[in-house]
A and B are shown apart, each in its own frame.
Chain A
Amino acid sequence: MRLLLRQVGHHYADLPVLEDISLDVAQGETVAIIGPSGCGKSTLLNLVGGLLPLQQGSIETLGAPPPGCLNPLTFVFQDFALLPWRDVAGNVALALEHHDLSRVERDARIQDVLALCGLSDFAKALPKQLSGGMRQRVGIARAIAVRPAVLLMDEPLSALDAQTRELLMEDLLAIWGRERTTTLYVTHNLAEAVRLADRVMVLSRRPGKVKTIIGIPIPVLERGKPQHAAALAALQEDLWQSIKIEAQVADREMLGEAQHG
């Protein structure tokens, strides 16, 4: 399923946060969105996911959702958003229960995604018993259990430590190896963006506008190979240069707001 954004703008009260965002995401493509703090990355994701009302422009999907899709636009959250009173299987089940699935079908889906995310042995565990990395695996399992047309990942690895983040990136790539879902991936981590995305959209500081979109011409699954390391590092440096000034200014603006706020 394709995703078409046309001149999307947004403001909270009098404060404009997004201006004139246009983007086409192809079927199966992953677009990372990076930008300084407060540039409206998450706002954009919530607009696409229908959690915020659209004020300006248009956001449309194009094409039919994949077979068995229960929830075309599906989020993975930074803070995992797991129900602490449900075990791992129960948390995945939450996304399925209100749909017209037979019990057998539902259980099969749950088993399938738990296996895919390496959670089969933890089906009966409560979230409090899991590490941060395992919790986000549950979040990812829950998201792919509904066979989404578009994955909306809102800083999914930001709450994790660096080592866990590496492990999870590998897991994500492994999952995508089986089935590529159109994905919007919001992050402030340039390495993540360069590692996972087909294209990286850089937003300016608030109000967020498209500053540049950089394509990463190396196939995602090959980026781990040593011969690409230099090219990827160069790309990451390019991204850093394009975002550095913005980040500095945004940082000072935050301070000013804190003083006046």
Chain B
Amino acid sequence: MLLRLDVADTRPLHEQVAGAIRRAIAEGECAPGDRLPPARDLSQALGVNVNTVLRGLRALRDEGVLEFRRGRGVTVAQGADGRSALLDRVRKVLADAARLGYGKDDVIDMIREVT
């Protein structure tokens, strides 16, 4: 699988790791049900501490993109490809909103108003 990282990215490293994996899933690098490379492999390839990688992976599990299974390692959740692409877009909307001065709650209110 191919991971892309922005050199100029200023976000915390664990968010960058999560972002790279989210993007890889959205672009079809790994399909739902596929096994992700072990955290140790990822940490060595990305040049990032294992704990940082694990923190990124846990964040993705909480988002419902990844599943942690005992004995089977980390797998991509069913429907994660669409979900992760959508989440990416939501993040962009939130970033745009923040630039215009709207907070998260304002955006949620706006979404409620849209029918």
- A-B complex is real: no
User: Which chain B residues have a beta carbon within 8 Å of chain A's beta carbons?
Assistant: none
